[in-house]
Structure 1
Amino acid sequence: MWGVVPGKNGANVSKAKRLQAGDFVLFYGDKKLYLAGTVAVRWENQALAERLWGLDHRNQTWEYMYALTDVRQIAVPIEEVQPLLGWSAKAVVQGFNIYEGAKAAGLRELCNLSVADDAVPEDEELVGPENDPDHQRQAGSSAGTSFDGPTDRTTTRQVRREQAALKQRLRELGKDICALCGRSIPADLLVAAHIKKRSKCDEKERLDFDRVGMLACLLNCDALYERGYISVDRGGKLLISAKVEGSPELKTQVKLLLEGRITPWWTEERERYFEWHRTHVFLQML
């Protein structure tokens, strides 16, 4: 649970009132984003805030309150945030701020806050009723979700030109064995998974074939790693997020296949990529 004071001349009031359930919140300190969560509910209660937290130097209390869910630890350096928000390297980060549009989307991706329904492969473009300007929703339909118009649409997208070469190199290194679960898997059920999200790699990192990627199976491991349910600690031990506890079936499967495993893909040279995944993507729940 958190709260916001009205601020000097009520500077925070209109911003605080814009918070809604489902919005994500990031906390900053020590030159990094260190905590992320999702707003569950927002309310105003001056008496409760004063009882919990007292008054500040302006004789104000943190009365614009909100409760957070899915709170997890992250460690995203401010240097990665600055270009997204258009800040200079000398910008002072303080106060309560709200970002929308492209800035919010950039922060969401950087901190792995995309919800499952929003997810598409990094080189794909999502086109559907909710973001297709040619599509009109039918209001008042009692038949559930409706769709009209053609089911196909021509789009343009970027193609990962290096992907085939990366997978070939990883197969040479990995002998068609999943780096995470250690099972021997047919090649068409293995993908060249980026240890550090490809969209966050520069050109030099994308071409660092021997270190930036690993083989991951489509049966379980690629999706679990991509979503942050699992990660790799220094030394190669697999980390399992407490998030799996919310699904008995997932918990059973993950513990059976992955708990206690040490991946041979971890090396000192790959550690910086694994560390990026641990601090940006892994669901390290509180």
Structure 2
Amino acid sequence: MNFKHGGIFVAKFWWVNQGQSYKWESALGVMWAPHVNEDGKTQHHWERMDRVQPGDVIVNYADMQIRAISTALTDARPAANPHVGLTELEWEKDGREIKLRMQELEVPMHLSDVPEALRKSWKSYGSPFNIKGGVNQGYLFELPEEAGLWIMNELSLVAEAGDDLSDVIPDAGESETDAVIVVGPDGEVVVKFRAEHGQLKKHLFGGKKESECALCGKLLPRGLLVTSHIKKRAECNPGERMDKRVVMAACALGCDAVYERGYIKVSPAGVIEIGPRISATEHLSAFVNDLVGKKVSAFTPHTAKYFAWHAKWHARTALHV
């Protein structure tokens, strides 16, 4: 059971398998589960809905990917099935619902991005992971704290010293503020809210419906472009984190991923070169080679230091994959 710390709920982490229901539940900003199955019996993965408290963190998983991170706005309350017209079965009509503030990830995290050894180590009773590192069947699971912290850190959703944070939960439809976690001196996890990413995204795109990828140069719909940190956010100092030029528009068609993972780097002349990380497949090599030689539109005398950091950091940490 979570508890209050200084008047604020200390968060627990949850993992929800939404599958086909993600489309409807994300549009409504809810989690929903029936009370009983067709045999009139309760299910442990539905019963856990009653343990979720406002302020808890929910990892939304569907189609083999972590698609969103949500904050619970309410506890579980009786509600009719929101998937209107999808069922005529009596046992599926009534259940419980939790209102969520969802923040969809610009780039979903694939299950394979979470090391298998970690997933296996996180196996425990009620955990979403099984002995093989796969995801258990069921709806809602309690996520071990170390797993929740790892995922939030990978998504740059752990607050850093100097971040401008608020305790006030934004409206469910407000998308300019990210929920982040603050880990206290005693290990307690508290959810707060940070507007930084939304401000950077607004600076890059404003109200544009289309924009160019800074790496490949293609003009693409806004939904296919990511607010990509040139220098890893976790390595930025407070001033760099608020520098609007520390980010660039990178496409979700592959450019963001190959830059983030070090398959490409940017030269001191602002031109894409092969990065220190070795491409393991012919298709990946071909994708990288198509980018080599292109001029990066986000490269300026000011951003040169960020691109130089990226190249040096990956030269130190490159791994064969």
TM-score category, normalised to shorter length: 0.3 to 0.5
Instruction: Give me the TM-score of the superposition, normalised by structure 1.
Output: 0.47
Q: Which has the higher strand share?
A: 2
Q: Which has the larger radius of gyration?
A: 1
Q: Which has the higher helix share?
A: 1
Instruction: Give me the TM-score of the superposition, normalised by structure 2.
Output: 0.42
